[in-house]
Structure 1
Amino acid sequence: MIRWGILGCGRIAGKFASDLKLAENAVLVACGARNEASADAFAKAFNIKNKHYSYEALVKDNEVDVIYIATPHSHHYEHTLLCINNGKAVLCEKAFAINYKQAKEMIDAAREKKVFLMEAVWTKFLPPFSRVKQMIGEGMIGDIKSLLVNFGFKAPPDAPQRLLDPALGGGTILDIGIYNVFAALFFLGKPDVITATAILTKDNTDAQCAVTFKYNDGKLAQLFSTFLSDCSTEADICGSNGRIRLTSRYYTPFATIEYYPGRMDTKQIIDIGKPEEGFGYQYEARHVGECLEKGLTESPVMPHADSLLLMETLDAIRKKAGIIYASD
């Protein structure tokens, strides 16, 4: 059994902790928070043996094999290096870092210390994305010509501070737009030309952002993210001989795959079986466990090169849209 610790005891950490029990090769043994009440409540909620009132104490816990980092992405660089320098394998929540420079230093440190490090792009491990990739590889829609993806919701007045605070890497592009960018890179690869425009807040974070990827072979991708209105949150992959749509909440295990083999009125639903229980984080947790069992320091499914390309692309988008953080 791979013994897990969780660094940061917020909402996303709770979902991950809940799903760890669905991963056959995982056991949650420790959590760490800077607030004693948070650590106490989290440990009680998930029946965690070891609770720590500092991140420094968590990374020195000898019963922990790997740590899931669930703090805001503005802190991923610091917390990943803390884990690595203490010999702990890391699954770091996305966005992996604030920028490419930080991501490169995190990966370099992991390689130097020979410690496992992976970005938690959970969508890449989910059945809907794997099935769509297979369908495309089998030529079911011909050559891809375009990708249309949107992800948005109207942020409530009491939305978490991290959504728009520049000190926490706020804005749509790193919070939810990253899913759109990942989808484009996953299905189409690195773009040749990037254009982007954003509606900026008074603090210079993006309340909504529109991105276009252009490829020299004629493909286009249009990506839209917003905190100002509710969107369908779907992905359309359009080819020369058909179209695939990942329906609402396309980035989750609960998306439906609609297949249009030619005419728009010939929709087929692709059966990928009933989703597992939980939120879907157990898929990436299982994979990390398998990597550690094999003694790997890098995932073959989500390798370091993919994280660097994703971060490089996000940097380029922010530069085009005028989204700048202090750490840049």
Structure 2
Amino acid sequence: MPVFPTALPAPRTPDPMEAPALRWGVLGTGWIAECFVRSVRRHTRQRFTAVASRDAYRAKDFADRHGIPHAYGSYRELAAARDVDVVYIATEHTAHLGCARIALDAGKHTLVEKPLAPNAPQAAEIARLAAERSLFCAEALWTFFLPRFDVVRQILDSGVLGNIRTVLAEYGEYFSGDHRILRPAQAGGPLLDLGTYPLSLAVRVLGTPTQVLACAEPHPAGVAGQVSALLRAADGGQGVVHTTLLSDTPTTATIAGSRATLSLPGPFYQPGEVVLTPTGGGTPLTRTEPHTAHEALHYEAAEVARCVSAGLVQSPLRPLADSVATLGAMDEIRRQCGITFPSDP
């Protein structure tokens, strides 16, 4: 039986600057693409050679601001470019499958912004296409590539928590106005943008749930306002997840075992503290790191570069099967709550 440690492990995450330099093309010019390009350029040796948008003027403006040599008004043009090794897909959720198909059909390794797709069937289709072409593909769920989560991974693998019975995770952020997340036609609501984080953690720790109980409250904009779900694992363990657009919440996560509890202060999906507390009291162990928020997006790009250079077609840190399983649980939550997306079968 593992002994409660005297200190938390250090992350094993390699230096992103040491990742082999690849040539990247970006599909989409929205906020997350901006954050990704800025972070990757500051902290890695990766090169951005092209950007594409359905609006050629937006692509040209993005390219000019970030010093990217080529701008295209067509996703297919970028995918066909010879100076692109990896395509990063940062388009709206409902376009992920179509864009992934374009990139993979062109023989390009692909990183798809989270969620991998709006539903599990489309995510499974992306995984199938990548496997058939022996190309690298991953979901850009940056949380699982952070040093903070390598510490979490080591704690889970050590067995120090004992028998894990409970996972609690939530993410709430208030939205108003005409934000994309409030638009039904763009698969809006909290699940895909916010709920992906707590649900992914619960599924990663407990496994694919054997039972789901869910409820939702609508938003005046015509999307879900908040969603809560109870997940039951095959061994009886339970996960409680919640996400909302109606208010700001602490956005914390807890993994509770029979011998210790692992706490992730909010926002749990970003760089931050890891706290391990022995069951029954005792002195907690805490690892701290700077709260750099989306400045840490470069870790996922460095992982892609390492995997591609090593000939891997998936990342062991976030296999496509995990992404599909998370969306499968989300599909069941939506079914029970009557939440539909335009891209549903």
Q: Hey, what does 1:90 align to over in structure 2?
A: 110
Give the Cα–Cα distance (whole angstroms) in 2 for the partners of residues 113 and 208 of structure 1: 39
- Runs of 4+ aligned residues of structure 1 deviating over 6 Å after TM superposition are 275-278
Q: Distance in 1 between matches of 2:200 and 2:249?
A: 18
**Structure-1 separation of matches of 2:98 and 2:235:** 40
Which residue in 1 is equivalent to 2:321? 305
Residue type of the partner of 2:278? P
Aligned match of 2:151 in 115, 131, 150? 131
Moved more, 127-136 or 274-283: 274-283
CA offsets per residue over residues 185-226 of structure 1, 9 Å max, x none?
Answer: 122211121111111236653110001111242311110000
SS class of match (1:279): helix
2:253 corresponds to: 235
In the TM superposition, residue 143 of structure 1 has moved relative to its aligned partner by 1.6
Residue of structure 2 in register with 1:316 after alignment: 332
Specify the code of the residue in structure 2 equivalent to 1:301: L
| Mapped partners of 1:202, 1:155: distance in 2 | 12
SS at 1:311 equivalent: helix
Deviation of 1:302 after TM superposition, in Å, equals 2.1
Kindly indicate whether the alpha-carbon contact (under 8 Å) linking 1:81 and 1:106 is maintained by their aligned counterparts in 2.
Answer: yes
- Cα distance in structure 2, aligned partners of 1:195 and 1:79: 33
Aligned length: 324
**Alpha-carbon distance between aligned partners in 2 of 1:301 and 1:217, rounded to the nearest angstrom:** 24
What secondary structure, in the 3-state scheme, does the structure 2 residue paired with 1:207 have? strand
Task: Give the 3-state SS of the residue equivalent to 2:230 in structure 1.
Answer: strand
Distance 1:225 1:274 in 2: 25
Asked if residue 37 in structure 1 is aligned to residue 57 in structure 2, the reply is yes
What TM-score does the superposition give when structure 1 sets the normalisation length? 0.92
Q: Distance in 2 between the 1:321 and 1:251 partners?
A: 25
2:93 aligned to which of 58, 73, 80: 73
Q: Which amino acid aligns with 1:257?
A: V
In structure 2, the residue matched to 1:198 is: 216
**Which residue number corresponds to residue 225 of structure 1?**
243
Does 2:68 match 1:51?
no
Instruction: Pick one of 279, 294, 302 that aligns with 2:310.
Output: 294
Ranges in structure 2 where 5+ consecutive residues have no aligned partner: 1-20
Q: Partner amino acid for 1:298?
A: Q
Contact conserved, 1:18 with 1:278, CA < 8 A, in 2? no
C-alpha contact (below 8 Å) 1:25/1:289 kept by paired residues? no
Letter of the aligned partner of 1:285 in structure 2? A
**1:50-92, Cα deviation, whole Å (9 max, x unpaired):** 1112212211211111110001111101111111111111100
Could you tell me which of 132, 138, 142 is aligned with 2:162? 142
Q: One-letter code of the match for 2:190?
A: T
Conservation of the 8 A alpha-carbon contact between 1:28 and 1:48: yes
**Within 1, Cα distance between the matches of 2:236 and 2:33?**
41
Q: Distance in 2 between matches of 1:200 and 1:265?
A: 43
Alpha-carbon separation, structure 1, partners of 2:186 and 2:302: 29
The alpha carbon displacement at 1:278 in A equals 6.2
Residue 175 (structure 1) aligned to one of 184, 187, 193: 193
Q: What does residue 230 of structure 2 align with?
A: 212
Shift of 1:295: 2.4
Q: What is the CA–CA distance in structure 1 between the aligned matches of 2:199 and 2:276, rounded to whole Å? A: 22
Deviation for aligned residue 1:128: 1.4
Give per-residue Cα distances to partners, 1:160-206, cap 9 Å, x unaligned.
22x12222111111111010110101222111211111112366531
The 3-state SS of whatever aligns with 2:241 is strand
Deviation at 1:14, TM superposition (A): 0.6
Task: Choose the corresponding residue for 1:260, options 270, 277, 280.
Answer: 277
Instruction: Give 2:286's aligned residue.
Output: 269
5+ residue gaps, structure 1: none
What is the CA distance between 1:277 and its match in structure 2? 9.3
- Compute the RMSD of aligned alpha carbons: 2.0
Task: State the distance in 2 between where 1:131 and 1:59 align.
Answer: 36
- 1:106 Cα offset (Å): 1.7
Q: Which amino acid aligns with 2:124?
A: K
Against the structure 1 CA distance between its residues 44 and 263, is the aligned structure 2 distance closer, same or farther, given a 3 Å change threshold? farther
Give, in whole Å, the separation in 2 of the partners of 1:241 and 1:213.
22
Deviates most, 114-123 or 177-186: 114-123
